[in-house]
Structure 1
Amino acid sequence: MSSLSLTSCSLSRRRFLKVSSSLTALGVAGAMLPMGMGRAFAAGEAGEVLSGSHFGVFYGKVEDGRLASVRPWEKDPHPAEMLDGVQDIVYSASRIRYPMVRRAYLEKGPQAERDSRGAGDFVRVSWDQALDLVAKEIKRLEDEEGPWALYTGSYGWRSAGRMNPQAMLQRLFNLMGGSVSSSSNYSKAGIEAIMPYVMGMIEAEGPQTTFKTVNEHSDLVVFWAVDPVNNNRISNTIPSHDEWNWIDELKAANKKTVFLNPVKVESCNDLNGEWIAIRPQSDVALALGLCHTLLSEDLYDKDFIADYTYGFEQFADYLMGKGSDGVEKTAEWASEITEIPADDIRDLAHRMVAGRTMIVSGWSTQRQHHGEQFPWALVTLASMIGQIGLPGGGFSQRYHLDACGAPVTNGPSIGSPISAGKRKETKEWPEEKGAQIIPVARVVDMLEKPGESYEHNGGTHLYPDVKMTYWVGGNPFHHHQDRNRMRKAWKKFETVVVQDIEWTASARFADIVLPAATTAERNDIEMVSPTCRKALLAMKKIIDPVFESRSDYDIFSALADKLGIGQEFSEGKSEMDRIKEVYEAAKAQAAGKKVEMPEFDAFWEQGILEFEVPEKNRDYVKHAEFREDPLINMLPTPTGKIEIYSKPIEKMGYTEDCPPHPTWIEPMEWLGQKDKTYPLHVNSAHPKYRLHSQLAGTKVREQYTVAGREPCLINTKDAEKRGIANGDIVRVFNGRGQVLAGAVVTDEIRPGVVRLWEGGWYDPEDVSDDNTICKYGDVNVLTPDIGTSRLAQGTSAATCMAEVEKFKGEAPAVTVFDAPKDAA
């Protein structure tokens, strides 16, 4: 490569963009080919391999067989600060190096005591011995009990790439006779449940009105409980980071922006936006107050309501106090709940209808008690404003992830190389054995209440009596709530198998631990920002698996052999065979669009394919067709319209926790309670420097920890009241548990609120103590484990109150990032 090569993975953004511009000017970045296919020049130096991660496309530098460093792809507009962690995770002290078995389990199998789970007493075994133990237990339970005794609810963001280990796990167990699995996710179960009833679709998926259209047509952009700058650093696939260009363009255009958030988030600072510090969990009340203002002052779009919505009359009666509660939802009423002055609420309503307004929401507001209500209220407010389907107007529920506002290219979508397949019915599944699929956030309820009934999305089901779980590509001891309750319930499992990269708390609370390879140690394929289909990436193996780790496909193929279903599982196909199949299917799909793609070997050598954006896609407006003709382009709802009132939900009878129209329902605990046990709301936002719990076990942690622990943002006034100074170790506690954290005193968080990022690794001081302190700062020690409502049964992690005090005495050392003894 020329002297303009990028040699450091820690370039400043200014330097990086300068060099990238130089490369582009020289034509190094590649040229567009005919038929709409772009050939991106993989400008790697000698010893570099192009691949991808949840943090972006990157080059891995290999020296003496080791992954020595990483640097971003030259076309990444804003390389993620945590990309170094992709290299460090391979060799970190927390890496799972060998197959390990808990000593008690190795001695007594599923009859072993379970109290020592988490204590770190593991024994190194061979791969053959470990897989024999796993296979033996799967066979025993399938034969003696049945598939309802096995839980493969593995959930998590796994590694980037289409070789999905969770699909492999389901395939394996389906070939054996099946297992209990899970539905939805912890991220957006509430919005996934409610939006099909309101819009007939999950609005949080698929392309959104393009950033370009917002920039050109919006007069006001309201960011409601969302921080795109923070969240778009990562992706559940591979991010393109195109959203950063949008933020830069919004700023350059000097667009008016409002941020409704208890924290002055990074995006607000970048855009110099107006910060309205709303009281946590009062978002529905604010939406109702805005709706009431539009209704009572006759400012709402009556034509849009009449032509495009159903059930407004019932909702209007509720706003005016004619509902069962008899309370008028005035701006004054909303002000008491939100602590936003009534005049400011009215002013915001006036501004929303004075020009073209785009309302951008995130998902945090639906991860709370009665979380289904806010997405519904937001759509209702947007309907009253009447700009849905117009350029720069309406709402979006996904600008915070995966470049969903970028225009869609003419490239193909790609599928999965591994099909979970159908359950091989070796046994009938009697109804009394319980549900085959449970809501993912109800796993602890399932463990505590086998045979008991629960309601979910209009149905009544039974919890199965599970005895074993196999977890891959996820970290339940991060994403589930009420850790102490979970620890007790986890003992219900006779056997816990965890297949992972690092010694997370989930691995530490397992009986059998299998070391998986990182993305740097295996081959894969993935679309960069798949919603807009920006580019197809060959994720090449950079180095061979280190220590005794194996790729997930190799592990499951070997386990399938032990179970006597090896040929059925692999179908005689290698990992590369399956990757090639994905490519060939995409190539055939592209041909149907008259987009030419090279042969697989040429693609693999080339490394990445970029696709063109058809000009018409640059100005895409979501729901424009519906607005143009609501009869021909009816929504897939019972009425074909936006359902402000839902008769299907009415028939479910969920009056107390999910009524048939958007409703303010007081959460189980919040700042507005008259008799609060704990005075501070705990905000558990997504972290800035990692993806959930991923990369916490790497050197990236050095960028954000305070006193070696998770940072705890606390308002200056709250800190002064408690004698807390910046950098102090604090104890955050409530009736569910206690954690240590490092104080960050700031005025960029609302008084009465503290912030602990989710994803901090759980580090219990004493696993024999039911209320042991977490030494590092896992916020889910504090959060409640309750469903949003009977509709979604999603997580309510954003509903949490606690107290904070300065920790006195010598703080216990953080040990969770070191492998258990005998495992290094």
Structure 2
Amino acid sequence: MDKQGIIEASRHRREGERIFYTSCPANGCWDSACILKCHAKDGRITAIEPDDSVNRNDSREDCGWENIWKGNVQMRPCAMGHAWKKELYAETRLLHPMKRVGEKGAGRGYFVPISWEEALDTIAEKMREVRGKYGPYGIFHSQYPSFEKNGFPLAPWWEAGFGAWGEHSTSGHAAGEMLHLGVDLSKTAKGLSEALPGFEASDIFNSKLFVMWGMDPVVAWFGPTSYYMQLAHEYGCKTIVIDPRYTQSAELLADQWIPIRPGTDLAMMLAVAQVLYEEDLIDHEFVDQWVDKAGFEEWRAYCMGEGEDGIKKTPEWAAPICAVPAETIREFARLYGTTKPVHLQYFYSCAKRHMGDYSASASMLLQAMTGNIACAGGCQTGACLPTPGRVPAPRADFGRDPGDYQVPVLFNNNCLTEILACQKDYWEGRMSESEFRHRIGSPTNDSPLPNVQMIIFENNYANNHSNVNKRFAGMASTEFNWGFQWHLNQPTAELCDIILPAPVWQFEGMDEYMYGHQRFVSGPNGMRNYFTFCARGVDFPGEVRSKEWVWTEIAKRLGDEVVQGYNPRLADVAWEDWVDAQEAIYKEAFEEWADNETIMAYLGYDHRPTWEEFNANPVVRTEVDVPYYPFKTLMERGESPFGTPTGKIEFSSNFVKGHDMTETRWRGQIEPMPVWSPSYVEGDIGSASNDGFYNPKAKDYPLSLVSPVSIYRQHSSNDNNPFMREDCYRHAVWISGVDAQARGIKDGDLCRVSSDRGETVLTAYVTNRMMPGTAAVHHGAWYQTDGTAAEKNEYGQDLRGTPNILIDDGHLPHILGALITAGLVEVEKLADGDAEGFGLEAERGGLRGAKAALGLRAALGEGEE
């Protein structure tokens, strides 16, 4: 076929196509809200292209440096964004309501199809039953019950459900932000505080030195922020990566890579502080204005060896702990102390360790010492997400009554596993109230206590936290669970009594996303100078239904007051007209927005856009004048953003000094300032932390495990996507050549990876990108078993390699809050005989793996392969 023939064939294939735009926050990419240009034909997505709403037909680089500064860049999706077709049309896609026959739990029972009427009637009946027997706190809704909120849609009118304090992503930094800076992210999430600690992507261009401490933005941070970091490096910003792995960011961006033992970051930070104090590399002007002097001097005395322990925290002291040469630490400290501004990004994973709150706090104090914590080009190093929005977006009005019920906060967001593990002992009198409150992070001694007997799953919630064996056992022990799932073999489905087929939010239907996040979408970070409208895409496949329709139908069954409170405008809409009715409400919101002359003038519209014009190019942008940096709004007004008792940054927390921390919501102990040897544990942090390299259990589990995110999945989304899992990505346990040789392991060997919490089977990736003594298993792999109980695995051998089966979730006597993502493991080669039976089908979680996991006899056909 000649060139013209190819063109004509392509044109023919595209005849009758419809183009629509959307974003993919269902992927978990809250930082970016990338824009997907989608082609649909005959009811199916045929192609997904990148953003062309600005600089059309130009590359990002061709749009001009001035445009880049102003944020006029394309918001391109990552590999996962382009691969959604395989997720939508997977052979494992759940297309019908199903109910369990037999026990809950991995490899137990099986599912049979049921009608929507039976599913909804059963769910509503069980909701009434559980609330009647256990009260309003017997029902837990899994849709991110963080920041003192809960996603249970019917809570305000049906008066059930409860929320949590804390959250997942930045949980390791939360204590430092609260205790040393007085920053409470729950207030910023509710719009109650202007103390926003985030930064806009283009502010990185103001930095003279960029320190990526445990950060791998090329892989782990999708959207414009990663792109701007790469541009800043190209234009001369010096970059240092501190990480036990030689990451892609170290390879592509770093001028220097400093490998460090996992969990020893605090030792290096204390040594850096010691050099800054000793050589007077302090920003005295900033410290005098914004730092509490007493605490500043208290930490100085500790670092200089004038405290109780009498140990001077020199680079020579830190070097044998963290395996970084003393000379390297000292020269790094000098470069850091003599360069300004410095963007030192101490990333989430480093702090999400047992006692990692100390290193997170220390990173903030280093930035405060050098005046880099709240300036153009600087960084707060904690929750870098929240920044002010720049573009007023429409807001659809569904007519919901706010309701009278205030969802109470009952526990720490990362302690649901603990609730399920010990609630029976408490309610049956075998555990004291005080111990129960301490185990779950009860916010006050007067807070109600939960007795969770129904979990409503709206995501792969069971799979994505530590201590999977304990988590699955607790979730399987409840009376009745139900929820929405995408795939037949999704791990969380195995804990449901009824599973409902979930729509893929950004492509199917027109539902709101979680927390009332409507279809006018903007990311919370990076670039907030735009929003996009996620238009209706393709029809629901099979018997998949809108989630809002499902909740409305359940509300009807719970009473007229509930449905009229939740969804009065759509309560009587027939299913066939549902998406049309939702779109009409969004159109109404748009037209009201477009009638606002002030907004139109601000955005530079020369005429009022019509709904049709908007849908043809549904991306609204404004230019960034001066990029936002941490606390910019308040700092420029001369107001303190620091809500501590002194109104300043407190190197030694006065809140901690003035409270028994075990009786606060944190329910554990912490020192007022970051120290290497806390008074409430035996030994130092390295030996006391349950995931520390120097912990005594390292004798049996000598490798320090980290669980970094992957570019091929966001949390566990896309682990079932063959484009990602089979065609691009090799899921394996990473170990160094030194460690592999000592164990007789070669690249590609099948290995048992074990800890004191569980074990899994993975192939080995032998690489000198890993520091000796460490191992890595990427986060997000699905927990799927062979169904045969084993000594460490109650539900059977994990065949797919979730790192969370290996990781402990313990905290006390240290404070609660952080979601732990690291641990100690051993890796050993499986003998040839032991390796038999671990086929690719089970490892990849194909259709045969789905049947093995769920026993889907009726769903797939009895005896069908």
Which of residues 32, 46, 55 is equivalent to 2:17? 46
Which is worse superposed, 330-339 or 528-537? 528-537
Q: How does 1:143-162 map to 2 (within 5 A)?
A: 143-155=132-144
Query: Aligned equivalents of 2:231 and 2:455: distance in 1?
Result: 48
Q: Kindly provide the CA deviation profile for residues 193-232 of structure 1, in whole angstroms up to 9, marking residues without a partner as x.
A: 43133223258985744544443x4332111111111122
Q: Cα offset for 1:513?
A: 0.3
**2:156–2:402 contact (8 Å) kept in structure 1:** yes
Q: Cα offset for 1:312?
A: 0.9
Which of residues 454, 463, 477 is equivalent to 2:437? 454
**2:401–2:566 contact (8 Å) kept in structure 1:** no
Equivalent position amino acid for 1:673 in 2: N
Quote the residue 2:672 is aligned against. Answer: 660
1:346 matched to 2:340? The reply is no
1:488 matched to 2:477? The reply is no
Quote the residue 2:210 is aligned against. Answer: 221
Q: Kindly provide the CA deviation profile for residues 673-715 of structure 1, in whole angstroms up to 9, marking residues without a partner as x.
A: 3562211011101111111100111122124443xxx222211
Q: Cα offset for 1:351?
A: 0.6
**1:118–1:510 contact (8 Å) kept in structure 2:** no
Quote the residue 2:521 is aligned against. Answer: 527
Quote the residue 2:366 is aligned against. Answer: 381
1:570 matched to 2:567? The reply is yes
Quote the residue 2:708 is aligned against. Answer: 685
Q: Cα offset for 1:669?
A: 3.1
Equivalent position amino acid for 2:474 in 1: A
Change (3 A) 1:207 1:330: closer
Q: Cα offset for 1:50?
A: 2.0
Q: Percent identity?
A: 23
Q: Cα offset for 1:621?
A: 3.8
SS for the counterpart of 1:360 is strand
Change (3 A) 1:801 1:577: farther
Change (3 A) 1:675 1:243: closer
**2:37–2:49 contact (8 Å) kept in structure 1:** yes
**2:375–2:629 contact (8 Å) kept in structure 1:** yes
Quote the residue 1:441 is aligned against. Answer: 414
Change (3 A) 1:252 1:193: same
SS for the counterpart of 2:751 is strand
SS for the counterpart of 2:299 is helix
Query: Aligned equivalents of 2:221 and 2:243: distance in 1?
Result: 18
Query: Aligned equivalents of 1:805 and 1:63: distance in 2?
Result: 49
1:717 matched to 2:690? The reply is no
Quote the residue 2:718 is aligned against. Answer: 695
1:756 matched to 2:768? The reply is no
**1:261–1:278 contact (8 Å) kept in structure 2:** yes
Q: How does 1:623-638 map to 2 (within 5 A)?
A: 623=631, 632-633=639-640, 635-638=642-645
**1:446–1:463 contact (8 Å) kept in structure 2:** no
Query: Aligned equivalents of 1:588 and 1:351: distance in 2?
Result: 54
SS for the counterpart of 1:454 is helix
- Structure number with higher strand proportion: 1
Gap regions ≥5 residues in structure 2 = 8-13, 28-33, 55-73, 190-195, 427-432, 512-518, 571-580, 663-667, 677-684, 861-865
1:182 matched to 2:164? The reply is yes
Equivalent position amino acid for 1:712 in 2: V
Q: Cα offset for 1:340?
A: 0.7
Equivalent position amino acid for 2:713 in 1: R
Query: Aligned equivalents of 2:375 and 2:472: distance in 1?
Result: 50
Change (3 A) 1:582 1:394: same
Equivalent position amino acid for 1:684 in 2: S
Q: Cα offset for 1:719?
A: 1.5
Equivalent position amino acid for 1:340 in 2: V
**2:204–2:228 contact (8 Å) kept in structure 1:** no
Query: Aligned equivalents of 2:89 and 2:259: distance in 1?
Result: 42
Q: Cα offset for 1:442?
A: 0.7
1:536 matched to 2:558? The reply is no
SS for the counterpart of 2:704 is strand
Query: Aligned equivalents of 1:577 and 1:178: distance in 2?
Result: 31
SS for the counterpart of 1:171 is coil
**2:751–2:830 contact (8 Å) kept in structure 1:** yes
Which of residues 489, 498, 501 is equivalent to 1:512? 498
Quote the residue 1:622 is aligned against. Answer: 630
Q: Cα offset for 1:141?
A: 1.9
Query: Aligned equivalents of 1:800 and 1:782: distance in 2?
Result: 8
Q: How does 1:11-410 map to 2 (within 5 A)?
A: 46-54=17-25, 56-74=34-52, 76=74, 78-104=76-102, 113-114=103-104, 118-119=107-108, 121-155=110-144, 170-201=152-183, 206=196, 208-215=198-205, 217-233=206-222, 241-310=223-292, 311-356=295-340, 357-397=342-382, 410=390
Which of residues 604, 622, 639 is equivalent to 1:612? 622
Equivalent position amino acid for 1:730 in 2: C
1:736 matched to 2:757? The reply is yes
User: How many residue pairs get matched?
Assistant: 741
Q: Kindly provide the CA deviation profile for residues 415-446 of structure 1, in whole angstroms up to 9, marking residues without a partner as x.
A: 68679976756xx99xxxxx753212111211
Equivalent position amino acid for 1:714 in 2: I
Query: Aligned equivalents of 2:367 and 2:176: distance in 1?
Result: 16
SS for the counterpart of 1:148 is helix
Q: Kindly provide the CA deviation profile for residues 593-621 of structure 1, in whole angstroms up to 9, marking residues without a partner as x.
A: 95257567246533413222142x24x44
1:640 matched to 2:647? The reply is yes
Please report the RMSD computed on the Cα atoms of aligned residues, expressed in angstroms: 3.3
Equivalent position amino acid for 1:642 in 2: I
Quote the residue 2:430 is aligned against. Answer: none
Quote the residue 1:109 is aligned against. Answer: none
Query: Aligned equivalents of 1:141 and 1:290: distance in 2?
Result: 55
SS for the counterpart of 1:566 is helix
Q: Cα offset for 1:244?
A: 4.4
Query: Aligned equivalents of 1:569 and 1:338: distance in 2?
Result: 54
Query: Aligned equivalents of 1:226 and 1:607: distance in 2?
Result: 35
Query: Aligned equivalents of 2:583 and 2:727: distance in 1?
Result: 37
**2:410–2:448 contact (8 Å) kept in structure 1:** no
Change (3 A) 1:797 1:390: closer
1:559 matched to 2:539? The reply is no
Quote the residue 1:160 is aligned against. Answer: none
Change (3 A) 1:391 1:807: farther
Equivalent position amino acid for 1:441 in 2: N
Q: Kindly provide the CA deviation profile for residues 616-640 of structure 1, in whole angstroms up to 9, marking residues without a partner as x.
A: x24x44345766675x445333222
SS for the counterpart of 1:478 is coil
Change (3 A) 1:214 1:793: closer
Equivalent position amino acid for 2:166 in 1: S
Change (3 A) 1:604 1:304: closer
TM-score, normalising length: structure 2: 0.79
Equivalent position amino acid for 2:566 in 1: F
Q: Cα offset for 1:500?
A: 2.0
SS for the counterpart of 2:83 is helix
Equivalent position amino acid for 1:745 in 2: V
Change (3 A) 1:218 1:501: same
Quote the residue 2:429 is aligned against. Answer: none
**1:190–1:788 contact (8 Å) kept in structure 2:** no
**2:166–2:817 contact (8 Å) kept in structure 1:** no
Equivalent position amino acid for 2:510 in 1: N
1:823 matched to 2:859? The reply is yes
Quote the residue 2:457 is aligned against. Answer: 471
Quote the residue 2:798 is aligned against. Answer: 774
Q: Kindly provide the CA deviation profile for residues 732-788 of structure 1, in whole angstroms up to 9, marking residues without a partner as x.
A: 111211111222221111111111111100011225446222101011000001248
SS for the counterpart of 1:315 is helix
Equivalent position amino acid for 2:656 in 1: I
SS for the counterpart of 2:827 is strand
Which is worse superposed, 660-669 or 205-214? 205-214
**2:532–2:619 contact (8 Å) kept in structure 1:** yes
Q: Cα offset for 1:723?
A: 2.1
Query: Aligned equivalents of 1:295 and 1:739: distance in 2?
Result: 46
Q: Kindly provide the CA deviation profile for residues 239-284 of structure 1, in whole angstroms up to 9, marking residues without a partner as x.
A: xx22344134223223321101111111121114311001101111
Change (3 A) 1:659 1:91: same
Which of residues 723, 727, 743 is equivalent to 2:748? 727
